Homo-oligomer: A and B are copies of this chain.
Amino acid sequence: MKRIMLTVAYDGTGYHGWQLQPGEISIEEVLNRELSRITGEDIRVKGVSRTDAGVHAEGNLCIFDTESPIPPEKFSYAVNKSLPDDIVIQESREVPADFHPRKWDSEKTYEYHIVRCRHADPLRRKYAFCCYYDLDVQLMRQAAEYLVGEYDFTSFCSADTEKEDHVRRIISLSVEEHGDEIVLSVTGNGFLYNMVRIIAGTLMEAGKGRIPPETVEKIRNAKDRTKAGPTAPACGLRLVKIRLIDPPWEK
């Protein structure tokens, strides 16, 4: 029995998120189906980040156990042949049989993409949020500073969540301009439900001049979801990378 870890990229547009859901199509379901087909086993992957409906990924991680003779690093090629073209395995490797990346210390990096436009851009409509308002990037950067560090992020967490511990550490949060596109890039040791989208929605409120940047400190301290900005649309969000801290195979 071998444990294989996959790095998975996907266009989340057509999926109801990562996680299996009755009556809806999910990334997890498609991976289970195709891995089971090529191995002849009943494969159930375990993912690290349960991205929401419509959210994209360049590097989500998942594991599964198999007795298949396919060499671990060849799984990517074998599965990509039969996966739909909106899900692509970027890498496959063997990991220790007791290794679970969700339980391992990691840093996750998300990006939120915003296009400033009067009319939508059909080439980016699925991968960025089109903002018709003027956004002052300098104000967004000032607001972002109040979110870097270890805090209780209850104000930036969907009220739907069941998790009790809302303390997370944001290691970096940058606001970069690339032509007419604004990219928020945030790295942290973990994120609450909808946290990056609520941060994006709040920074856009600051960028529009609707709230002064320093208000973000008060919003953070309030530990009250109703004080923060709206949850920005899923299409602008992508999980860029999950960096495992000192994994066993690098020791």
Binding site for B on A (CB under 8 A): 9-11, 56, 58, 76, 80, 85-90, 118-123, 125, 127, 238
Known: A80-B120, A85-B122. 9 other contacts (CB 8 A): A9-B123, A11-B123, A76-B119, A80-B119, A85-B120, A87-B122, A88-B121, A88-B122, A90-B118
Task: Give chain B residues whose Cβ lies under 8 Å from the Cβ of A125.
Answer: 11, 85-86
Decide: B56 and A123 in contact? CB cutoff 8 A. Answer: yes
A80–B118 alpha-carbon span in the complex (Å): 11
Decide: B87 and A10 in contact? CB cutoff 8 A. Answer: no
Please give the count of copies of this chain that the complex contains.
2
Decide: B119 and A89 in contact? CB cutoff 8 A. Answer: yes
User: Closest approach, in angstroms, between the C-beta of A100 and any C-beta of chain B?
Assistant: 24
Decide: B88 and A9 in contact? CB cutoff 8 A. Answer: no
Decide: B121 and A58 in contact? CB cutoff 8 A. Answer: yes
A9–B90 alpha-carbon span in the complex (Å): 31
* Residue in B closest to A127 when the chains form the complex, CB atoms: B123
Decide: A58 and B123 in contact? CB cutoff 8 A. Answer: yes
* Residue in B closest to A178 when the chains form the complex, CB atoms: B178
A119–B10 alpha-carbon span in the complex (Å): 12
A88–B89 alpha-carbon span in the complex (Å): 32
A86–B126 alpha-carbon span in the complex (Å): 10
User: Closest approach, in angstroms, between the C-beta of A229 and any C-beta of chain B?
Assistant: 25
Task: Give chain B residues whose Cβ lies under 8 Å from the Cβ of A58.
Answer: 121, 123
User: Closest approach, in angstroms, between the C-beta of A93 and any C-beta of chain B?
Assistant: 14
Task: Give chain B residues whose Cβ lies under 8 Å from the Cβ of A238.
Answer: 123
Q: Could you jot down 10 A-B contacts, CB within 8 Å?
A: A9-B122, A58-B123, A80-B119, A80-B120, A85-B122, A87-B122, A88-B119, A88-B120, A89-B119, A123-B127
Task: Give chain B residues whose Cβ lies under 8 Å from the Cβ of A85.
Answer: 120, 122, 125
* Residue in B closest to A76 when the chains form the complex, CB atoms: B119
Task: Give chain B residues whose Cβ lies under 8 Å from the Cβ of A119.
Answer: 9, 76, 80, 88-90
Task: Give chain B residues whose Cβ lies under 8 Å from the Cβ of A10.
Answer: 122
Task: Give chain B residues whose Cβ lies under 8 Å from the Cβ of A88.
Answer: 119-122
* Residue in B closest to A86 when the chains form the complex, CB atoms: B122
A121–B10 alpha-carbon span in the complex (Å): 8
A-B CB proximity, top 9 nearest: A11-B122, A86-B122, A88-B122, A88-B119, A88-B120, A9-B122, A90-B119, A10-B122, A11-B123
